[in-house]
Amino acid sequence: MEKSAAAHESAWLQAASASDNVYRPLFFRIYHEEERQRFWELRRTVKDLTIYDQIANQLLEYIKISYFTRLKPGDDPGRFMEEALGGLTPEEYGVWVYYPWSKKMVHLLDEEAFIAVRTSRNTYKITPEERDILRTKKIGVIGLSVGQSIAFTLAMERVCGALHLADFDAIELSNMNRLNVAVQDIGLNKAVLAARKIAELDPFLDVRCFEEGITDENLDAFFSENGKIDILVEECDGIDVKISSRLKARSLGIPVVMDTNDRGMLDVERFDLEPERPIFHGSIDEGMDTEKLKGLSNEEKIVILGKIFDLTKISDRMKRSLGEMNKTINAWPQLASSVVLGGAMVTDTCRRILLSEIQSSGRYYIDFNDLIK
């Protein structure tokens, strides 16, 4: 009987750690007896487990912001420690978060206190009321190359409370000119890696990965599972998905934001405000058969992308790159500086859309060659 119970107890841990692509951490609030038992079971059974416990420092930060009016200059915030603990021991307080992919256990403030401290230096560029609004929003990101920087910046600024990430592709060595990854990440799904990095920044953000990318079978789930996404950020290479995702977004009244990684070009399509608006600002025929657009050669893609992005407005260096495609290069060139800029532009734009500060569609350029001569 005892052996059977022990086997049952460890089954949850094996299931949680089984997949190479696991990206959700486990939470233990050990002031609950059942979670305390699981916490100690994990500590007993996981080899090479690393414990990180800086809860005292986090509590002091929390006291500084939540007891602000009761603290005088030079006061020791530690005198409020017992009150902040609320009768719990320091070990019991907050939440222990376990990351199966790295075998790290981290002691953190629980969700409300964690968010309050982590976003405290946003105030009042983002007001507490705006923070609470943004916390209810969900953003979908398709394409986690350029999209990785965007997704991580969205999470860092906490512009939303939930993210859907879609990409079927795996990290390759050649991606490392622009992606914040490590050499041991080669071969890992891009969406999963982005989700792991977000979980290590903020485990309370709700992230769902679509590791197969966007397909006919999962399109509805990506847009609507557990509540409709509020913004689509589209950063994928496939022309068929670029079109099908916009058509879906328009049918659901969801705005679309896209960064193109050249000349700081940002595209905004407000299908929430303009339900009849043509996709890509009317630059292409919406009646194209998306099935025929799958698996296009680079030359075939350039013809359609030329209509979407207006090749007369791309940078001289990108024009040269397109001319060398399948001659001296075999993939689209992207620079880390442009990818990071895209993360900033899209995050700022999404926040302003969600807070009703932007009401229009359009195409915008932040071209450093024009701005800094």
Contacts of 260 (CB under 8 A, 6+ apart): 266, 267, 309
Reference 265, options 155, 363, 332, 331; nearest CA is: 363
Question: Residues 311-365: pLDDT tens digits?
Answer: 899 999 999 998 898 899 988 899 999 999 999 999 999 999 999 999 999 999 9
| String of DSSP letters for 88-114 | --TTTSSEEEEETTTTEEEEE--HHHH
Number of domains in the chain: 2
Together in a domain, 78 and 188: no
Together in a domain, 146 and 65: no
Confidence bin at 1 (pLDDT 50/70/90)? very low
Six-digit token string for 23: 């990206």
Together in a domain, 50 and 148: no
Distance, CA of 90 to CA of 30 (rounded, Å): 11
Its domain, for residue 87, covers: 2-118
Report yes or no: 176 and 366 within 8 Å, Cβ to Cβ.
no
Together in a domain, 215 and 144: yes
Question: Residues 234-284: pLDDT tens digits?
Answer: 999 899 999 999 999 999 999 999 999 999 999 999 999 999 999 999 999
Distance, CA of 53 to CA of 90 (rounded, Å): 10
Together in a domain, 221 and 108: no
Question: Residues 182-228: pLDDT tens digits?
Answer: 999 999 999 999 999 999 999 999 999 999 999 999 999 999 999 99
Together in a domain, 359 and 307: yes
The residue assigned the tokens 């060595």 is: 173
Report yes or no: 203 and 229 within 8 Å, Cβ to Cβ.
no
Helix or strand run (H / E) with residue 142: strand 138-142
CB atoms within 10 A of CB 56: 12
Residue 342 CA: distances (Å) to CA of 93, 146, 367: 39, 7, 12
Question: Residues 87-135: pLDDT tens digits?
Answer: 999 999 999 999 999 999 999 999 999 999 999 999 999 999 999 999 9
Backbone angles phi, psi at 140, to 5 degrees: -105, 135
Q: Where residue 177 sits, what CATH number does that domain have?
A: 3.40.50.720
What is the C-alpha radius of gyration for the chain, rounded to an integer number of angstroms? 23
Q: What is the pLDDT of residue 322?
A: 86
- Which residue would you say has higher pLDDT here, 121 or 9? 121
Together in a domain, 91 and 157: no
Mean pLDDT of 4-17: 61
Q: Is the pLDDT of residue 16 over 70?
A: no
Q: What is the pLDDT of residue 15?
A: 65
Q: What is the pLDDT of residue 197?
A: 98
Reference 258, options 248, 268, 243; nearest CA is: 268
Choosing from 59, 86, 118, the residue where a domain stops is 118
Distance, CA of 362 to CA of 64 (rounded, Å): 43
Choosing from 89, 118, 147, the residue where a domain stops is 118
Confidence bin at 289 (pLDDT 50/70/90)? confident
Together in a domain, 172 and 35: no
Choosing from 118, 148, 171, the residue where a domain stops is 118
Q: Is the pLDDT of residue 20 over 60?
A: no
Distance, CA of 36 to CA of 258 (rounded, Å): 45
Q: Is the pLDDT of residue 79 over 90?
A: no
Specify if 123 maps to a domain. Answer: no
Distance, CA of 141 to CA of 120 (rounded, Å): 26
Among 32-41, 67-76, 87-96, 119-128, where is mean pLDDT lowest? Answer: 67-76
Residue 297 CA: distances (Å) to CA of 255, 289, 292, 325: 29, 16, 12, 11
Together in a domain, 45 and 178: no
Mean pLDDT value across the chain: 93
Specify if 81 maps to a domain. Answer: yes
Strand pairing report for 256-259 and 231-234 = parallel
Q: Is the pLDDT of residue 163 over 90?
A: yes
Residue by residue, what is the 3-state secondary structure of 8-65? HHHHHHHHHHCCCCCCCCEEECCCCHHHHHHHHHHHHHCCCCEEEECHHHHHHHHHHH
Q: What is the pLDDT of residue 361?
A: 98
